[in-house]
Structure 1
């Protein structure tokens, strides 16, 4: 796996090896990742990445969040509860020299808890502009994670959500589906929070 574009283009990421079968570690292929970022950057919805705060749920290797950093995002928070995956994310963050622009949260992505902002302004500052979501396929975890993140105030108005699944997902309200593409066995759905 490599960073496909942007300032860190060509950077080789840590080898997954046998991964973590119990955690269903399934990195997004370079081809699907390239398609996702082409859709984000060159699509008709406006490029959401420059200066964005990015939330990478079910982060796995961290490749999606790191690709976003390479392409202009300001900060990425990786949410991953699997120890082998967190070790890969840490190694990849070090390879990219991005520790000052990243955080790794050891959490269940379906239970982030409330946004810690004490008031509306602080909550908005802690919310995210772009969310990547690549849960284990076919378990309904993506729906649960997004429903919870929305209810707890983690998405900014107008936030873009990029969701990978094996089949078209049920998009929770108030998100609006704006695009959907199939790449082999992966369905990529773009959703947006109302502004």
Structure 2
């Protein structure tokens, strides 16, 4: 696993030990970013259930200004910290070892707005819809922002969740990414 494009292109990322993290494959990441836009001019990214941090780091490498990484697993967050250091992006990130919905409440209080929100919860824990609802009610997504919701292809999240509307689905074998905007 590596950073595909931008300032940190080619940087190899560490994996989380064990089997509880399912990182987004490089081919899926490459396809996703060709849809989102290959490069960005500033903005903030939020990487929920960050795992290795690969999606948020790719966004930073491609021009996002700042990123916040959230994962409840200390092991995952230490892996993200190591990958941030490898990409030399320590001054552009915040890391939180907490429940995603608790962090969303905190970020709402800070009145932050995100251009990209990556959401890749564990497939078997039924967290996708509750977290999408929290995002929709928190007003964290910028007007032209995108929520990137990764889920099992057998799952079918609703087209509308509060103010969020799905506008595209990308399927790669067992993985589907649903893109939401406002």
TM-score (norm 2): 0.90
Q: Is the 8 A contact 1:138 1:165 kept in 2?
A: no
Structure 1 unmatched runs, 5+: 118-122
Superposition deviation, residue 68 in structure 1: 0.3
For residue 110 of structure 1, give the secondary structure of its aligned residue in structure 2: helix
The offset of 1:134, in angstroms, is: 0.7
User: Of 86, 101, 120, which aligns to 1:134?
Assistant: 120
Q: 1:77: which partner in 2?
A: 68
Deviation at 1:156, TM superposition (A): 2.1
Give runs of aligned pairs for residues 172-191 of structure 1, distance below 5 A. Answer: 172-191=161-180
* Distance in structure 1 (CA, Å) of the matches to 2:29 and 2:5: 10
Secondary structure in 1 matching 2:81 = helix
2:133 counterpart residue number: 147
In structure 2, C-alpha distance between the alignment counterparts of 1:59 and 1:15, rounded to whole Å: 12
Write the distance in 1 (CA, Å) between the matches of 2:53 and 2:74. Answer: 13
Structure 2 residue aligned with 1:116: 109
Cα RMSD of the aligned pairs, angstroms, is 1.6
Q: Which residue of 2 aligns with 1:33?
A: 29
Q: Gaps spanning 5+ residues in structure 2: where?
A: none
1:159 deviates by 1.8
Q: What stretches of structure 1 move > 3 A for 4+ residues in a row? A: none
Deviation at 1:138, TM superposition (A): 4.2
Task: Give the TM-score taking structure 1 as reference length.
Answer: 0.84
Is the 2:115–2:146 Cα contact (8 Å) retained in structure 1?
A: yes
Asked if the contact 1:111/1:148 (under 8 Å) is kept, the reply is no
Q: Tell whether the 8 Å contact from 1:20 to 1:84 is kept in structure 2 after alignment.
A: no
Distance (Å, rounded) in 1 between the aligned partners of 2:132 and 2:97: 17
Q: What does residue 45 of structure 2 align with? A: 54
